[in-house]
Amino acid sequence: MPTAVANRYANALADVVTAPGSALAPAAAVTELHSFAALLRSSAELHNALATPSIPASRKRAVINRLGDLLSLSKITRNFLYVLIDKRRIAILGEIVESFDLVVDERLGFARAQVTSAAELNEQQRAAVTDELQKLTGKRLRSRYDVDPALIGGLVARIGSTVYDGSIRGQLHTLGLRLTEEA
């Protein structure tokens, strides 16, 4: 769960990329931040070098600039990373990226759906589930799919705080409750 500080930085960047006439599309900003965060996670030495207060900000900026060339980062993303360096917030980049994903989706009118099924769904089944959930909620969705064999069959979808349980396990549980109430 992102902290309040991470949320502030994420919202500030979202303000820039969702503004009319922005030089960077929100989806591109998400992609660029994810690529830099993945690079940062993959190298403990890089993470330590950018997070260590004893290394001057100018050297850290040079590293980000060089990596920005390699990753083809936009000027907006580089400037955002420079701000994180200057404010000593690069260590929470992962939280910021997580929050930024959510903020951008919200501003673009998407809701997040977590769908768990008893077996792996193919692309056609996933599209059908997402389509049905969009009709049910009236929202555009970005769906993430997981598998939980304990469901026995069917699936469970969570959108925000609402849970749609179409699993066999859920139906058996409901049936069990009804039987104990009637006894």
pLDDT of res. 137: 85
Are 116 and 102 in a shared domain? no
What one-letter code names the amino acid at 40? L
The pLDDT value given to residue 165: 86
CA angle 119, 106, 113 (to 5 degrees): 10
Q: Would you call 42 exposed, middle or buried from its count of C-beta atoms within 10 A (0-12, 13-18, 19+)?
A: exposed
Give the number of C-alpha atoms closer than 13 A to the C-alpha of residue 9, restricted to the C-beta side: 27
Same domain, 8 and 78: yes
Report the pLDDT value the prediction gives residue 92, as an integer from 0 to 100.
Answer: 95
| DSSP one-letter string for the chain | ---HHHHHHHHHHHHHHTSTT-SS-HHHHHHHHHHHHHHHHH-HHHHHHHH-TTS-HHHHHHHHHHHHHHHT--HHHHHHHHHHHHTT-GGGHHHHHHHHHHHHHHHTTEEEEEEEESS---HHHHHHHHHHHHHHHSSEEEEEEEE-GGG-SSEEEEETTEEEE--HHHHHHHHHHHHHHH-
Identify the domain boundary among 106, 132, 147.
106
Residues 121 and 99 placed together within one structural domain of the fold: no
Mean pLDDT estimate for the chain? 91
pLDDT tens, residue by residue, 53-76: 999 999 999 999 999 999 999 999
Residue 173: predicted pLDDT: 79
Residue 183: what pLDDT? 60
| Same domain membership, residue 147 and residue 97 | no
Q: How many domains does the chain have?
A: 2
CB-based contacts of 171, cutoff 8 Å, min separation 6? 154
Say yes or no to pLDDT of 170 above 90: no
**Residue 95 and residue 20 share a domain:** yes
**Contacts of 167 by beta carbon, 8 Å cutoff, 6+ apart:** 118, 151, 152, 153, 154, 155, 156
The predicted structure's pLDDT at residue 153: 84
Assign 37 a pLDDT band (cuts: 50, 70, 90): very high
Task: Tell me, yes or no, whether 91 and 114 share the same domain.
Answer: no
Domain boundary among 106, 122, 152: 106
Mean pLDDT of the region 123-127: 94
- Give the pLDDT confidence score for residue 94 in this predicted structure: 94
| Mean pLDDT confidence for 177-183 | 77
> What pTM did the predictor assign?
0.75
Contact at 8 Å (CB) between 76 and 12? no
Range of the domain at 127: 110-182
